[in-house]
Amino acid sequence: MSNLQYFRPTTVDDASALLGTPNSRTRAIAGGSSLVFDASINADILVDLSQLGLDQIERHDGQLHVGAMTNMQTLVETGYALPENDPLRLLCLAAHDMAAVGLRQRITIGGAIATADSASPIVTALLALNAEVLLFTPNGKDKRKTVALAGLLGYQAQVLKAGVLILGVIVPAISEASVMRYAKVARTPADYPIVCAASVCEMGKELIQTLRVAVGGVAEMPVALNQLGIELAKKPLSHLDTALASALAELNPPSNWLGSGDYRRDMAGVLVKRNLS
Ligand SMILES: Cc1cc2nc3c(=O)[nH]c(=O)nc-3n(C[C@H](O)[C@H](O)[C@H](O)COP(=O)(O)OP(=O)(O)OC[C@H]3O[C@@H](n4cnc5c(N)ncnc54)[C@H](O)[C@@H]3O)c2cc1C
């Protein structure tokens, strides 16, 4: 901890430049909640992102923009009273499952993406919403660029270095006819999920128009079941069981003290069906 320097810049350019300081071990601090587990910190320079104005939630042309510094409790409070066809409502349900209220006030959406674990509810919901991540890349041709969240997952450590910052997430416009659901299994109702699932489904009169399903707790990172959506498009819901069985057969969930791989696969099926019923 000796010679640890702390900065609180007010512009993204300054924050990025500090994080890219040559020959230094730098670390961005968002909610700071992961520091609790990191007694060594392993950094010479801490860069606090709290003054960058990245805590806005805005809507533009049907898209939802959520700044990287938006915390989980803000998502809970903003989305709580919204209808089931609003992406903020889905983010509210998932954010609620991230932690108890005290920690929800610290955990930011940027930090949750940077440190996503297997069963992250908020990352699972963002995958179902087909979200993109807005990055600040100081050495890129365009300093601001968007990448698909699904493409970033698993590569955060490689991407988020040398001054690269998550600025926020963008949820694309989604039909108002869509119903968005989230469900989980956990040791207790208030606990972090063992398995969770989120879905965005637009039903026509009798046929599914579009469907996106994501599941957490069945792989190293939450996964989108893209093939399931492709197979069920323009089909009646009665085809769900068969399509879901083949999608789940592709998974190879890990086993640990919280549940075996078979249990996780079975629960993923139960939750997806519950969301679509
Ligand atoms: C009691 C407790 C329980 C926890 N349980 C879990 C759990 O079950 N699962 C889990 O995954 N985590 C858990 N955590 C760890 C922590 O809460 C999460 O990792 C959280 O998502 C971090 O969010 P944060 O905003 O606090 O990020 P920070 O702790 O501030 O940062 C985390 C990392 O992300 C990077 N980062 C943050 N924001 C950005 C950004 N905008 N751009 C680029 N990089 C960024 C930081 O540099 C840092 O390396 C727990 C923590 C506590 C205290």
Residue range(s) defining the domain that contains residue 76? 57-171
Q: What pLDDT digit, counting tens, does each position of 176-199 carry?
A: 999 999 999 999 998 999 999 999
Q: What pLDDT digit, counting tens, does each position of 216-231 carry?
A: 999 999 999 999 999 9
Ligand 1 pocket check for 27: Cβ under 6 Å: yes
**Which pLDDT value is given to residue 15?**
97
The last residue of one of the domains, among 140, 171, 202, is 171
**Which pLDDT value is given to residue 4?**
85
The last residue of one of the domains, among 171, 187, 216, is 171
- Based on the domain organization, do 185 and 259 belong to the same domain? yes
Q: What pLDDT digit, counting tens, does each position of 106-163 carry?
A: 999 999 999 999 999 999 999 999 999 999 999 878 899 999 999 999 998 898 988 9
Distance separating alpha carbons of residues 17 and 20, to the nearest angstrom: 5
- Based on the domain organization, do 199 and 251 belong to the same domain? yes
Which atom number of ligand 1 is nearest to the Cα of residue 35?
Answer: 29
Please report which confidence band the pLDDT of residue 2 belongs to, taking 50, 70 and 90 as the band edges: low
Ligand 1 atom 13: residue of nearest CA: 34
- Based on the domain organization, do 218 and 243 belong to the same domain? yes
The domain spanning residue 136 has which CATH number?
3.30.465.10
**Which pLDDT value is given to residue 41?**
74
Ligand 1 center from residue 176 Cα (angstroms): 32
Which atom number of ligand 1 is nearest to the Cα of residue 192?
Answer: 8
Helix (H/G/I), strand (E/B), else coil: 137? coil
Domain count, the chain: 3
- Global pTM reads 0.96
The domain spanning residue 196 has which CATH number?
3.30.390.50
Helix pair 87-96, 121-128: axis angle to 10 deg: 160
Please report which confidence band the pLDDT of residue 39 belongs to, taking 50, 70 and 90 as the band edges: low
pLDDT over threshold 80, residue 263: yes
Structure tokens at 179: 């119903």
Distance separating alpha carbons of residues 64 and 131, to the nearest angstrom: 9
- Based on the domain organization, do 39 and 121 belong to the same domain? no
Q: What is the DSSP string of 156-187?
A: HHHHS-TT-EEEEEEEPP--TTEEEEEEEE-S
- Based on the domain organization, do 122 and 204 belong to the same domain? no
